[in-house]
Amino acid sequence: MKILITGGAGFIGSHVVRLFVTKYPQHTIVNLDKLTYAGNLANLTDIEHSANYKFVKGDIVDAEFINQLFQTEQFDSVIHLAAESHVDRSITNPTEFVLTNVIGTVNLLNAAKSIWAGKTSNSIFENRFYHVSTDEVYGTLGDTGLFEETTSYDPHSPYSASKASSDHFVRAYFDTYKLNAVISNCSNNYGSHHFPEKLIPLSINNIKNNLSIPIYGKGENVRDWLWVEDHARAIDVIFHNAQAGSTYNIGGHNEWKNIDLIHLLCKIMDEKLNRAEGTSAKLITYVTDRAGHDLRYAIDSSKLQRELGWKPSLQFEEGLRKTVDWYLANEEWLNNVTSGAYKDYYDKQYN
């Protein structure tokens, strides 16, 4: 089988590509990525020469290019992760999010629909369109409760509105055209190769460089953190086993207030950098809150656990320590993604 993975040079996508390339040598994995500021082929150097791996640089917003690629490659299935993913950027540039997350997804759906029309599949995951989405589509929770698969959509940021819209299109293509579509909605991921604009890698980078750690509002917002490799494993299980048209929530059952998470991170960083206890916490700076900032996300992943036997593997403090170790051991990666040096390098190779 030939499986297209979009956004495979990004944070989660690179973990999914690595898992599929190494676990399924019998399948060809094609990674389609535009290599935006967030996408970086240095995330995949360990598998880039594998016989069953191929990279294609391209933009999912370009319908003509996407149609041509599907005609040429005749993909058997798609796992779609390419997206603009940062909420703060969506507040300053919403249109970019509509283009990539909505139009880009519809372009992929159309191309898949066109090459799979009339085909009969031999397995549940052949001619499958797997759309990777977020828990942010459900909006925000109060102090109690969990997002379930049946929770109504109520997005608040341009990012979550664009992801919600793309989810609706995927469901519409299942209902209308019987496309073999599956969706998963996951909570906040953390781990290696996370672009340092997001809370955890930004804070690690700032602490390392003695810069302030910006905490939005009072730091009371709650997120449910999941080890990125556990997300990749969940995608593997869902891709191979889910019924067409189904949805699964993925989460860590691991809720943290931002300020408590940052205090734990500061403690770990003090230890790892041999600094006196309390040194990193002095960098915490409360700043103006994010507009439309959702208070609390928390996922009920019991359907995935019950039906497909998945569960998170890593306890949070252990995962956070592993994440810090990775960033401290990969200073070159951190410097090159923050300076844009990787982008310049790969742009030259692929233009």
Site for ligand DAU contains 37 (CB under 6 A): no
191 phi-psi bin (left φ>0, alpha ψ -120 to 50, beta other): left
Catalytic residue selected from 138, 159, 173, 248: 159
Which residue's CB is nearer to ligand DAU, number 196 or number 245?
196
The reply to whether 135 belongs to the active site is yes
- Report d(CA 102, CA 8) in Å as an integer: 18
Site for ligand DAU contains 214 (CB under 6 A): yes
Site for ligand NAD contains 60 (CB under 6 A): yes
- Report which residue's Cβ sits closest to ligand NAD: 10
Which residue's CB is nearer to ligand DAU, number 28 or number 189?
189
- Report d(CA 343, CA 338) in Å as an integer: 10
From the CB of 61, what's the least distance to ligand DAU, in Å? Answer: 18
Site for ligand NAD contains 104 (CB under 6 A): yes
Among ligand DAU, ligand NAD, none, the one that 251 touches (CB under a kind-dependent 5 to 8 A) is none
Instruction: Mark 40-59 with x for binding to ligand NAD (rule: CB under 6 A) and - for no binding.
Output: -------------------x
Instruction: Mark 280-319 with x for binding to ligand DAU (rule: CB under 6 A) and - for no binding.
Output: ----------x------x----------------------
Selected binder of ligand DAU within 37, 153, 177, 216 (CB under 6 A):
216
The reply to whether 136 belongs to the active site is yes
- Report d(CA 337, CA 85) in Å as an integer: 16
How crowded is the C-beta side of 54, counted as CA atoms within 13 Å?
Answer: 12
From the CB of 196, what's the least distance to ligand DAU, in Å? Answer: 9
Stretch binding ligand DAU (CB under 6 A), from 94-102, 167-175, 216-224, 325-333? 216-224
- Report d(CA 351, CA 346) in Å as an integer: 8
Site for ligand DAU contains 131 (CB under 6 A): no
Please, which of residues 113-142 interact with ligand NAD by CB under 6 A?
132, 134
Which candidate, 59, 15, 16, places its Cα nearest to that of 36?
59
Beta-bridge partners for 286: 215
3-state helix, strand, coil in the chain (%, to 5): 45, 20, 35
Site for ligand DAU contains 85 (CB under 6 A): yes
Site for ligand DAU contains 234 (CB under 6 A): no
Which residue in this structure is represented by tokens 């599929």? 20
Q: How far is CA 314 from the centre of its chain?
A: 18
Which candidate, 257, 184, 240, 227, places its Cα nearest to that of 11?
227
Which residue's CB is nearer to ligand NAD, number 28 or number 100?
100
* Neighbour count for residue 337 (Cβ, 10 Å): 24
- Cα–Cα distances (Å) from 185 to 125, 225, 327, in that order, read 18, 13, 27
Please, which of residues 152-191 interact with ligand NAD by CB under 6 A?
163, 186, 188-189
Which residue in this structure is represented by tokens 């019950």? 306
The reply to whether 138 belongs to the active site is no
DSSP 112-138: HHHHHTTPPPSSTTTTEEEEEEEGGGG
Site for ligand DAU contains 156 (CB under 6 A): no
- Report d(CA 75, CA 204) in Å as an integer: 39
Q: Which residues fall within 8 angstroms of residue 279, CB to CB, at 6 or more apart?
A: 270
Beta-bridge partners for 29: 3, 53
Site for ligand DAU contains 136 (CB under 6 A): yes
Among ligand DAU, ligand NAD, none, the one that 87 touches (CB under a kind-dependent 5 to 8 A) is ligand DAU
Beta-bridge partners for 57: 33
Longest Cα separation, the chain: 66
Site residues for ligand NAD per CB under 6 A: 6-7, 9-13, 33-36, 38-39, 59-61, 81-85, 100, 104, 132, 134, 163, 186, 188-189, 195
Residues annotated catalytic, as ranges: 135-136, 159
Site residues for ligand DAU per CB under 6 A: 85-87, 134-136, 187-188, 198-199, 202, 214-216, 221, 223, 258, 290, 297
